[in-house]
Amino acid sequence: MGATGQGVVEFAGTVTGLQPGETLWIVLTEPVPRRYYPAVGPCAVDGNKWSCRAITFDGPGAYKAFPLMADAEGTSGMAALVPGNATSSAIEPVERLPRGTWQWGPEVLFATR
């Protein structure tokens, strides 16, 4: 997974083994207390490449993000949490992610200016 941008961050990467009905999302995190910020998704998948719409960050800062896979139940749960507006101030924290979701890759640390 890669992230690029200055205030506007786009996420993209490769995926293998995605099963029919599974979707990919991006979740932001903060370490203590452990909170999750369901940010964008479902991401577009074309073959083994995926990309998500950009997130606009309201100010500079350091962030962590990771890709999240979801089955049908998790997709429904994530859809209820992800804001229609991909701006950092619109993303609400949750303490638990929906059932039917699992972290698919490592966390990536990035910063905006």
User: Has residue 98 got a pLDDT over 60?
Assistant: yes
Q: In sequence order, which ranges of the chain are alpha helices (DSSP H)?
A: 72-81
What are 48's two structure tokens? 């083994």
Domain ranges of the chain: 2-112
Question: pLDDT tens digit string along 2-61?
Answer: 554 457 888 899 998 888 899 999 999 876 667 899 999 999 999 999 999 888 887 777
pTM for the predicted model, two decimal places: 0.85
User: Has residue 90 got a pLDDT over 60?
Assistant: yes
How far is the C-alpha of 43 from the C-alpha of 25, rounded, in Å?
A: 6
Task: Name which CATH class applies to 2-112.
Answer: mainly beta
pLDDT of residue 53: 87
Q: Which of 33-37, 43-47, 72-76, 93-97 has the lowest mean pLDDT?
A: 33-37
